[in-house]
Structure 1
Amino acid sequence: MTSYDAIVVGGGHNGLVAALYLARSGWSVAVLERNDVVGGAIASGEVTLQGYVHDLYSTNQNLFLGSAAYADLGADLTRLGLKFRVTTSPYANVFPDGQSLRVYQDYAKTRDTLAAHDPKDADGFDRLYAVYQRYAPYLFALYGSALPSWAAAREVVRLLRKQGRSGALDLARTLLMSTRELGETWFASREAQAMAACWGMHLDFAPDVAGGAMFPLLELFADMENGMSVVEGGAQRLPEALAALLTEKGGEVHTGAEVDRVLCQGGRVVGVRTVDGTQLHARRAVIANTGPGALYERLLEPEDVPADVRRRSRAFRYGPGTLMVHLALDGPLPWSGVGDLGEFGYVHVAPYVDDLARTYAEAQAGLLPTDPLLVVGQTTAIDPTRAPAGRHIAWIQVRTVPAVVRGDAAGTIKATAWPEIAEAMGDRVLSKLERYAPGASSLITGRAIRSPQDLESANPNLVGGDSAGGSHHLPQNFLFRPLGSGHNGYRTAVRRLYLTGAATWPGAGNNAASGRLAALQVLRDARSRRSS
C-alpha cells in the first residue's frame, strides 16, 4: 500500500494550498482529485466557441492576490507563469433610463460621479469609507485567522485597545446590519443603496438578512482600492500553477482519482480508498476539501461518526442556486448611458433593493425569479487575451435561482426540470440584459448555459448550485462554521482528519485562507503529538 504523510481529498485551490504548506514543511503529500483537472470552482474553458476562454465559476481573483498564501507563494507562482490582469474600473451598477453608478480605482473620480448623482451619496460614501479605513485592518486580520485561535483573540484585544469599547461596539453593530440597513444608513438614493446591497447577493445575503453588511463593506472599498483582477489566459491557470509548484516541492497530484471512502481504525483516520479500489495510507493526516455532508454522509462509515455529528452535518444549510450564462460576442456590450461602462470588471443589473429582496424570496420559494440579479463580468475588458482580436466574452452570474424548481414566478416557463428550462431561463436573462444594453443580443455569436444542477454535477461541493459552498447566515458563520462545537481549527470528529474549503471559516471566495489555516493546524497538531 502506497503511504504518504498526508493525503488531501479534492484538488480545489484550498486543497492545493494546504498540500503546498505541508510539502514545504517536508511532508510527503498526495492530492486526489475526482475530475480530470484540478481547480474545483476555479476553472476556465472554451464553452462557447473555440478561442473564447470563459471562467466557468469564479472570476474575480482579488481575494487570492491579497491573501497570506499569495504573499508566501506568489513569487514561485509567478516564476511558473501565473499572471494577473487588473482593471482600474472595478464595478458599476446600471439602472433604468441609462443611469449608472461607477466605482473607479481613483477615489476622487468615484466621489465625483456619486456627487453628480446625489451629493448626499458622496457624503455617505466618504463617511462609510472612513469606517472601512478605521476597521478594515482588524477585519482582514480576523478573516485570515482561524476561529477560535490566539491570533483571532489578539486581534480582538488590539481592536479594543486601539478603538475602545465604544468603537468595538460600533463595528459590531455595523457588521450585524442587513445590507438594506447598511445602504439606508449611509446613502440617500435608492441607486447607491442598491450598489451596496448587490454585494450581499454574491453570497446568500438578501437585503433583509441580518449580518449581511460585512462582505459589502469590505468589497465596496477593497475593490475600489485595488481594482479588479482576473488570471491572464483563464482562471484554470491558477490551480495549474499551484499543482505545478506542489509537484516541484515533491508532492503528488492525481486527477481522475475519486475517493469513495476515508478509512479509519481505532477512532482515527489511516488513509483513503478510491473508486477503483486503490487504498492509500496516511501516516499523519487526511484533509478533506469537501462539504461536511459529503464527508460525514458519504466518505466515512457510519460507525466512524458520532450520531450527533451526522445529524448536524445533515442540517448544514446551502444557499440558493446560481445560473451561469457565458457569451461569445462580436463586440463590447452596448450599455445605455455613459460610454465607459464597457470598461468595468463587474456590472450589477438589479436594479433596486426591493428587486433583490423579491428575487431572493422567489428563489427560496422554489420559483424561477421574474427579474433576477445579473452580475455581468466583462472579462475581455480586463484580459483581452481571452478572445480573438476585436471579440469579447461576457460572464454572467445569475443570483439567485432555486436548486429545485417548483414553478415560475412569471408564469411563462411551465417545466420544472433544469435540463428542460435552462435555455428558457437564459432567454430571460438576455432579455433583461437587452433592456440595459440595447443591441446586445445581435452581438452574441455563441452562448453556454450552466444550471445549478450542472454546477453541482461538475463540482459536488456546489450543492444545489450554491456558488458559495454553504450558507453564510449568522448561525453558520464565524465560530459556528461549519458545524459549531467540535469542528474548530479545521479538526473534525475523527482524529487526524481535517476539513477545508468554502464550508469552513472564512467561507466562500478565492482567498486560500482555509487551506493555509488547515495546513498550519495539521502541523501544530503533529508537533504537539511529538512533544507529548
Structure 2
Amino acid sequence: MSDKRRRKGTTYAMETADAIIVGAGHNGLVAANLLADAGWSVVVLEATPQPGGAVRSGFVTAPGYLSDLFSSFYPLGYASPVLRDLHLDLEWTRSPDVLTHLLPDGRAATINTDVVRTMESVERFAPGDGERWKNAYDDWRNVSAPMLDTILTPFPPVRGGLSLLRALGSVDALRLARRLVLSVRELGSELFSGEGATLLMAGCALHTDLSPEEAGGGVYGWLLAMLGQEHGWPVPVGGAQRITDALVSRLRSKGGEIVYDAPAARVLIARGTAVGVRTAGGRDFRARRAVIADVPAPALYLDLVGERWLPSRLVEDLAHFRWDGATVKVDWAVRTKMPWKNPAAAGAGTVHLGADLNGLTRYAARLATDQVPDHPFMLLGQMTTADPGRSPEGTESVWSYTHLPHREHWEPDEIAAHVDRMEATVEEYAPGFLAQVEGRNVYSPADMQRENPSLVGGALGGGTAAAFQQLFLRPIPGIGRADTPVDRLYMASSSAHPGGGVHGAPGANAARAALARYRVPGYRSVINGAHRAVYGG
C-alpha cells in the first residue's frame, strides 16, 4: 500500500481509523508502527510534503554531497530499546574517533571506542585521568541497560528503577542520584583532575540548552560521552533519511497510511473525549480509539485543543513553558578533507570547537542574557569521515550548528553576521577551509521552523532540558506521562518525557498509553484521578 498524498482531485479510501496521528516525525511514526503492530488501523496526518520531521537528508550544498538536514549522529537511537525492538532495516556505521574537542590553545581531547585510546587522550591533561575515565566508564557499564530503560520508559520508571536499585544497592543508588543532579562542571571536577575529560562531557551537555553550571547538566554530558565510549556515535549508512524511510516502509507493510500536506487545525472533542482531527483544509479524520499528537506542547494544547477543554491551571502553567535555544545550522561541501591545524580532529565524526571550559560558561551566559555570543561554541559533523558515501572520495560533507537566544524573529543580516562568525571560527581551527568550500546551505531558526513546524524558533529539543521541565514536570507540572486531560488524546512529541533526541521514546510511550486505555481495567480512572490531583476539578 502506498501513502496517500493530498493533491487536488485526490480521493481517499480511509477517513476513519482506530488511531489518527498528527505528525510524521520519527516519534509519530514510532507510535503509528506500534499501534499497527497491535492490529489497530492508523492514519498519519503530516503538515509538510514529506515525512521525517527533523530526521531527513538531502543534497543542499553541491551535487554529490549528501547532508543530514537537522539531526545527524544517533547514539541514543542506536542504543534505544524502542528502535531496536522495531527491527528496522538499517545499516549503521561510525567514524574512527567518536568525538574530538579542540581547545583554543591547540590541545585536543578525544573519545575513541577503544577505551585505551580515550584514556591516553585524557591522560595528557592530567596524570591519572586515564584511569579515572576507565573507572567512570566501568560505572556506566554497570548501569547502562537499566539506566536507558529508566530514561526511555513512561514516568514513573518502575521497572528500570528497580533494575537500577538491584544493580547498585541502595547506597550506590543514592550516590548515582546525587551525580544526576550535579552540573557538568561539578561532576567533571569530582571525577577528573584535568580539563580534557571534563570538556568532553561539558561539550556533550551543551548539545542541550544547559550551561556547564546548571543542575542536571552532568547527566547529559555523562550519558552522551559514555554512550560514545560504548557504542560510538553511529550514523545510518546513506543518511538520516534512512531512519525515516525504514519507519515509513515498516508502517506501510502493516497497512498504515500517511496523508501529506495535511496540517492539523483542530482536535475534534466530544464530551471531553478526542474523536478525531480536522485539517486546515476542512477534512475530518475520525478516530475510533485514539488521537496521538507529535507536535510541541503549546501547539497541542493551545492551538489544536483550545482552552475550553483544558483545566484552567494547565493553561496557566503553559505560560511558563520554556523553549530551548534557537539554532543556526550551516552545511558545506568541501573539495578536500578538512585542513585541521590539530590532526586529532581528522578522524572524528563530531568535533567541538570554539571554547575551553570557561569559554563554554561565557557562551552559555550570553545566551542566558539574550545576547548573541561573540565567540560561538560549535558542534561540527564530518559526515564523509563517518560514512564514506556521503561525498566524493577525498572530499568532506560538513555541517556545523550553534545556538542563539530563543526569539520570535531574527533579521537576515543578524543571521548572516553570525554565519560569518561561525565560518571564522572554523577557519581559525582549520586554516584554508573557506578556500575549499564548493557550496553551502544555511538554515536560520525561521528556516528550520518552515521546514519542520515543530522546530519552533529553531528549538531542537521540544522545550528546555532544564530540571524544572523534566520527568513529571515535562512539559508542565503533571504526571509526566503521554496521557492528557482529554480522554483518548496523547502527546508523542519531544515536549513529553523523556524529551529530545532521536530515540522514539515519546512516541512509544504515547502508543503504550493508548493501548493501556483499552487493556488495563481502571486505567483511565487512575489517570483522571492524577489529573484532578494536579489541576483540581
C-alpha displacement of 1:279: 0.5
**Aligned partners of 1:161 and 1:29: how far apart in 2?**
39
Counterparts of 1:431-450 in structure 2, within 5 Å, are 431-450=424-443
Residue 404 of structure 1 is matched in structure 2 by 407
> Structure 2: 5+ residue runs without aligned partners?
1-13, 525-537
Matched, 1:368 2:361: no
* Aligned sequence identity (%): 35
How many matched pairs? 511
C-alpha displacement of 1:530: 10
* Backbone CA RMSD of aligned residues: 1.9
C-alpha displacement of 1:340: 4.7
Residue 20 of structure 1 is matched in structure 2 by 33
Matched, 1:495 2:508: no
2:188–2:201 contact (8 Å) kept in structure 1: yes
Counterparts of 1:288-307 in structure 2, within 5 Å, are 288-307=293-312
Measured at CA, do residues 369 and 33 of structure 1 come closer, stay the same or move farther in structure 2, by a change above 3 Å? Answer: same
1:198–1:350 contact (8 Å) kept in structure 2: no
Q: 1:166 aligns with which of 142, 154, 171?
A: 171
Residue 356 of structure 2 is matched in structure 1 by 352
Matched, 1:109 2:139: no
Matched, 1:329 2:321: no
1:135–1:171 contact (8 Å) kept in structure 2: no
Residue 135 of structure 1 is matched in structure 2 by 143
**Aligned partners of 2:143 and 2:255: how far apart in 1?**
40
2:104–2:356 contact (8 Å) kept in structure 1: no
> Structure 1: 5+ residue runs without aligned partners?
406-415
**Aligned partners of 2:359 and 2:48: how far apart in 1?**
37
Counterparts of 1:236-251 in structure 2, within 5 Å, are 236-251=241-256
Q: 2:209 aligns with which of 184, 204, 209?
A: 204
Counterparts of 1:89-128 in structure 2, within 5 Å, are 89-128=97-136
1:127–1:186 contact (8 Å) kept in structure 2: no
SS in 1 for 2:418: helix
Give the AA of the match of 1:153. V
C-alpha displacement of 1:420: 2.2
Residue 8 of structure 2 is matched in structure 1 by none
C-alpha displacement of 1:388: 2.5
Measured at CA, do residues 231 and 48 of structure 1 come closer, stay the same or move farther in structure 2, by a change above 3 Å? Answer: same
**Aligned partners of 1:340 and 1:99: how far apart in 2?**
9
**Aligned partners of 1:259 and 1:433: how far apart in 2?**
41
C-alpha displacement of 1:313: 2.2
Q: Which deviates further from its counterpart, 153-162 or 355-364? A: 153-162
Matched, 1:52 2:65: yes
SS in 2 for 1:119: coil
**Aligned partners of 2:207 and 2:509: how far apart in 1?**
24
2:480–2:496 contact (8 Å) kept in structure 1: no
Q: 2:396 aligns with which of 392, 395, 406?
A: 392
Residue 34 of structure 1 is matched in structure 2 by 47
Q: Which deviates further from its counterpart, 134-143 or 12-21? A: 134-143
**Aligned partners of 2:206 and 2:411: how far apart in 1?**
22
Runs of 4 or more above 6 Å deviation: 529-532
**Aligned partners of 2:349 and 2:236: how far apart in 1?**
13
Give the AA of the match of 1:520. R
SS in 2 for 1:403: coil
C-alpha displacement of 1:69: 2.5
Residue 21 of structure 2 is matched in structure 1 by 8
Give the AA of the match of 2:160. E
SS in 2 for 1:128: helix
Q: 1:478 aligns with which of 463, 471, 483?
A: 471
**Aligned partners of 2:166 and 2:34: how far apart in 1?**
33
Matched, 1:506 2:511: no
2:202–2:221 contact (8 Å) kept in structure 1: yes
* TM-score, scaled to structure 1: 0.92
**Aligned partners of 1:422 and 1:72: how far apart in 2?**
41
**Aligned partners of 2:311 and 2:522: how far apart in 1?**
27
Q: Which deviates further from its counterpart, 341-350 or 153-162? A: 153-162
Give the AA of the match of 1:528. V
1:403–1:453 contact (8 Å) kept in structure 2: no
**Aligned partners of 1:138 and 1:2: how far apart in 2?**
41
Give the AA of the match of 2:97. S
